[in-house]
Amino acid sequence: MAGFKQVTKAQARSHLSHDERIARLEGVVRSLDSEDEFVEEISRLWKSAQTTFLTIGRYLVQAQQKLKLSDKKDDEKQTFAAFVEHRLPFGYQVAYQLRKVAEAVDKNVLSLEELPSSYATAYQLTTLTPDHLEKARQMDPPLVRADVKREEIAAFKRQITRQALSKATDSGRWLKQMERRRETLIARRDQISAEITEIDRTIAQALQQQE
């Protein structure tokens, strides 16, 4: 692959030093006692995970722009997918979702306060249209919130689909009614036209007799 040195995912992961990886896995676990302490510490770590995936997403956006990576296959340009698959320790699907979440935040589609801690859940919010996103914000409780579950978004999408199908069905029924109404009016128009023609003929004959 021109422009990139091709390595396996295992090799890409190995770029993290052994000591660094071990340190990250071990972390520093403090001895906690109260419920509030556990909640505070776990919430802090959970929020740091959110910050990490957002930062990675922003780097992916920057990489695409500065390395001129194309989303579509192009003989003259390296693709974003090729860069990810051959150089990074995760796949294209994950990279795409991370990038889309970062773009949504930086374009003010989603706020940091609304951003779920899971990038996969956050990505599901980015797939909503602006109208559906606004509707989701107006729900009680709002669907667009930091602790939303992926299942809730999936249920909302199913509801949207059902409503769209119902609307399409109603629209189809209305169209059929209008078509039948049009046919009825055309038939009446033809009947009236025929009656007018007959009246015109009768009047013409009467005038001829008077002459």
Q: Give the tens place of pLDDT for each residue, 28-77.
A: 667 878 778 777 876 776 677 777 888 999 999 999 988 888 888 766 67
Cβ partners under 8 Å of residue 92, min gap 6: 80, 81, 84, 85
Task: Output the pTM of the full model.
Answer: 0.62
When the pLDDT of each residue in the chain is averaged and rounded to a whole number, the result is: 82
Res 23 pLDDT > 60: no
pLDDT score, position 25: 46
Q: How far apart are CA 142 and CA 124, in angstroms?
A: 15
* Phi, psi at 79, each rounded to 5°: -90, 155
Q: What is the dihedral of CA 129, 112, 108, 106, to 10 degrees?
A: -110
pLDDT tens-place string over residues 112-155: 999 998 999 999 999 999 999 999 999 999 999 999 999 999 99
